[in-house]
Amino acid sequence: MASVKLKINDKNYTVEVDPKMPLLWAIRDVVGLTGTKYGCGIAQCGACTVHLDGTPVRSCSIPVTAANNKNITTIEGLSTDNSHPVQQAWIQEQVPQCGYCQSGQIMAATALLKKNPNPTDKDIDTAMQGHICRCGTYPRIRKAIKTASQLMGQKASAK
Partner 1 sequence: MKADTNESKIFKVSRRDFVKTTSMSISGLLLGISFSCSDTAKKLSGNPEYVFSPNLFITLNGNGDVTLIAHRSEMGTGIRTSLPLIMADEMEADWNRVKVVQAVGDEKYGDQNTDGSYSVRMFFTPLRKAGATVRLLLEQAAAKEWDVDVSECKAKNHEVVHSSGKTLGFGLLAEKAAALPMPEESSVKLKEPKDFKYISKQSSIVDLKDIVTGKAKFGFDNNHLPNTKIAVVKRNPEPGAGLKSFIADNAVKVPGVIKVFTLDAPGFPTTLNKPLGGVVVVAENTWAALEGRKALDVTWNKGMNADYDTKSYNNAMLKSVKTKGKVRRENGQVDKALASAKKIIEADYVVPLLSHTPMETPCALAHVHDNACEVWAPVQDPQGVRKSLAEALGMDLKNVTVNITLLGGAFGRKSKPDFVVEAALISRTMGTPIKILWTREDDIQHDFYHFPSAQHIKVGIDENNKVTSWLHRSAFPPIDGTSNANAKEASGAELSMGMIDLPYAIENVCCETQEAEAKIRIGWLRSVANIHHAYAVGCTLDEVAKARGVDPVQNMLDLLGDDRTIDFNSLTSEFWNYSEKLEDFPWSTARFRHVIETAKEKSNWGKSLPKGSGQGFAAHRSFLTYVACVVEVAVDANNKIRIPKVDYVVDCGVPVNPERIKAQFEGGAAFAASLALKSEITVSNGAVQQSNFHNYQVGRMSDSPYETAVHIIESNEKPTGVGEPPVPPFIPALCNAIYAATGKRVRQLPVRLA
Q: Which residues bind partner 1 (CB under 8 A)?
A: 1, 17-18, 20-22, 25, 28-30, 32-42, 44-45, 47, 74-76, 78-80, 82, 87, 90-91, 94-103, 106, 121, 124-125, 128-142
CB of 56 to partner 1, least distance (A): 15
* Minimum distance, C-beta of residue 47 to partner 1, in the bound complex (Å): 6
Query: Residue 58: which H helix or E strand, with range?
Result: strand 55-58
Residue pair 144/93 in contact by the 8 Å Cβ criterion: yes
What is the DSSP pairing of strand 11-17 with strand 55-58?
A: unpaired
Q: Which residues of 85-113 are buried (b: 16+ CB within 10 A; e: fewer)?
A: bbbbbbeebebbeeeebbbbbbbbbbbbb
**Where does residue 134 rank: exposed (0-12), middle (13-18), buried (19+ CB within 10 A)?**
exposed
- Based on CB atoms, which residue is closest to partner 1, 99 or 117? 99
Q: For the CB of residue 106, give the shortest distance to partner 1 in the complex, in Å.
A: 6
Nearer to partner 1 (CB atom), residue 122 or residue 159: 122
Q: How far is CA 152 from the centre of its chain?
A: 18
Cβ 124 to partner 1 shortest distance, Å: 7
Closest to partner 1 by CB, 80 vs 157, is 80
- Which C-beta is closer to partner 1: that of 98 or that of 156? 98
